[in-house]
């Protein structure tokens, strides 16, 4: 007998596919809802509260690039990170699949599909989603903190050892991709609250109309579609840790309500009157300069000092160069195992390119670069040709525009590789390298290419 639990939302503009799935899926899911387009996706997520979304990638028959599906996959994971997304497409494109995974998709199904495979993937996604208690967003368990050997990270680790056993409020700042959420989880794991939940909230992704409901909860009948009581994130984190990510994006007029809850350590559900005490440890994170926002009147000074008992700034990857190659090797091993690629290591030319990269996206960019390289590699080790340098990996900026920031020892190889990949098209090669056409002309002349 099939396990008939969980809710699944199907978003597909093909009526025949929707009708077929309306027959197939109820055998395995307790509730099935289908909609023809993403136009009602947000309201469906709020009202239906699915465990899994099976999302078609193309809703305009004249544009079959999957871009609309990729966009909505990312939006779903921002709005409800606990929901698992399975992408549904008739176009089997490895690059599209990789991009979908990067945006948080659970898996990728190609049409026409095999029923057994489809059910296997969807039920696995459902089971993963339902492991979370209620709507608690679990900490990521696949990403362990990589401390490396740099002095900045050694200092942060020393600080963590001191503060983790306390209930001190922590503010983590740093550029995108530096691992602020991973550090927050590390603090929780080493705290006295580690046996309780850590609830993570992307504060900047919550719409203003749902802000109070998501954080503080609501009572039945508080507003239209409030058919049942809803427990907010503060209550879900009771006894554990509440992690407010992207706190700098909270609108000013909502900051007072957050400050009140933090100060009082109690909340009142929307539509309710009873103050409910909450026992939480608060960790916040942002990539924004909160002090500058305070000066500009865009962030409350009293809230800033309330969340800033201990301030930790994660360094960008370019300031911990000794950790780049070990991190790359860690990702190589992880993705080689995941994608069943027998790779022995990283070739010397690729090592040098990695070490000298600018990595504006930090660890996240390095991880994505290594994942794609592993998937597309054909040799026994990763070479510089396997690395995707289409992002601003090696380029810097001056007041005069782009500069050619590739290390001198790798410059000729990079230029030659870009020209080969662009099929000799100078404009395309310049775009790959992130430089102007005149700059590339000069390099081609320099090396006689």
pTM exceeds cut of 0.85: no
Is residue 146 in some structural domain?
no
List CB contacts of 429: < 8 A, sequence separation 6 or more: 415, 418, 419, 421, 422, 440
Domain count, the chain: 3
Domain of residue 100 covers 7-130
Checking if the pLDDT of 445 tops 80, the result is no
Query: What is the chain's mean pLDDT, rounded?
Result: 82
Highest mean pLDDT among 41-45, 269-273, 416-420: 269-273
- pLDDT value of position 304: 96
Of 105-109, 113-117, 249-253, 287-291, which gets the smallest average pLDDT? 105-109
Number of Cβ within 10 Å of residue 407's Cβ equals 13
* Dihedral in degrees, nearest 10, Cα atoms 145, 148, 153, 159: 60
- pLDDT value of position 272: 87
Q: How far is 436 from 284, CA to CA, in rounded Å? A: 40
Strands annotated E in 12-123: 31-35, 52-56, 84-89, 107-110
List CB contacts of 275: < 8 A, sequence separation 6 or more: 264, 266, 267, 268
Per-residue model confidence as pLDDT tens digits over 160-214: 999 999 999 999 999 989 999 999 999 999 998 988 889 999 887 787 878 888 8
One domain, residues 299 and 325? no
One domain, residues 213 and 277? yes
Q: How many CA atoms lie within 13 A of 201 on its CB side?
A: 31
Please, are residues 47 and 33 in contact by the beta-carbon 8 Å criterion?
A: no
Burial class for 367, CB neighbours closer than 10 Å (0-12, 13-18, 19+): buried
Per-residue model confidence as pLDDT tens digits over 140-155: 334 568 888 899 999 9
- Which one of 278, 296, 313 terminates a domain? 313
Q: What are phi and psi of 159, to 5 degrees?
A: -65, -45
Furthest-apart CA pair in the chain: how many Å? Answer: 77
CATH number at 28 reads 3.40.50.2300
Q: How far is CA 177 from the centre of its chain?
A: 9
Mean predicted confidence (pLDDT) in 384-391: 70
CATH number at 169 reads 3.40.50.300
């Amino acid at each position: 007998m099939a396990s008939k639990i969980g809710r699944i939302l199907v978003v597909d503009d093909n009526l025949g596919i929707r009708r077929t799935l309306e027959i197939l899926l109820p055998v395995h899911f307790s509730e099935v809802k289908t909609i023809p387009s993403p136009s009602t996706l947000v309201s469906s997520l709020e009202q239906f509260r699915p465990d899994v979304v099976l999302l078609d990638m193309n809703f305009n028959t004249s544009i079959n690039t999957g871009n609309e599906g990729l966009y909505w996959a990312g939006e779903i994971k921002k709005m409800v990170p606990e929901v698992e997304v399975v992408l549904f497409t008739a176009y089997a494109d490895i690059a599209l699949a990789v991009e979908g995974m990067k945006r948080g998709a659970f898996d990728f199904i190609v049409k026409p599909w095999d029923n057994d495979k489809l059910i296997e993937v969807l039920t696995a996604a459902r089971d993963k989603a339902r492991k979370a208690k209620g709507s608690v967003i679990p900490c990521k368990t696949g990403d362990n903190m990589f401390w490396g050997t740099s002095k900045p990270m050694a200092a942060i680790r020393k600080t963590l050892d001191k503060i983790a056993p306390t209930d001190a409020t922590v503010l983590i700042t740093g550029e995108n991709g530096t691992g602020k959420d991973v550090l927050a989880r590390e603090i929780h794991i080493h705290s006295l609250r580690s046996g309780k939940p850590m609830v993570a909230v992307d504060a900047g992704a919550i719409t203003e109309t749902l802000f109070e409901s998501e954080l503080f909860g609501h009572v039945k009948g508080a507003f239209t579609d409030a058919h049942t009581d809803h427990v907010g994130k503060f209550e879900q984190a009771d006894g554990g840790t509440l992690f407010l990510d992207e706190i700098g994006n909270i609108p000013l007029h909502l900051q007072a309500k957050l400050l009140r809850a933090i100060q009082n350590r109690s909340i009142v559900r929307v539509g309710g009157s009873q103050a409910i005490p909450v026992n939480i440890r608060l960790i916040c994170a942002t990539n924004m300069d909160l002090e500058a926002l305070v000066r500009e009147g865009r962030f409350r000074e009293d809230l800033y000092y309330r969340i800033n008992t201990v301030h930790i700034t994660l360094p960008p990857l370019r300031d911990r160069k000794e950790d780049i190659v070990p991190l790359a090797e860690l990702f190589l091993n992880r993705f080689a195992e995941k994608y069943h690629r027998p790779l022995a290591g990283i070739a010397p030319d690729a090592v040098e390119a990695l070490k000298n990269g600018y990595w504006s996206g930090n660890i996240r960019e390095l991880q994505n670069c290594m994942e794609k390289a592993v998937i597309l590699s054909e040799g026994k080790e990763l070479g510089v040709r396997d690395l995707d340098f289409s992002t601003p990996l090696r380029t810097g900026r001056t007041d005069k525009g782009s500069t050619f920031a590739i290390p001198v020892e790798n410059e000729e190889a990079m230029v030659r590789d870009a020209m080969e990949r662009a099929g000799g098209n100078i404009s395309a090669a310049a775009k790959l390298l992130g430089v102007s056409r005149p700059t590339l002309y000069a390099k081609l002349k320099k090396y006689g290419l």
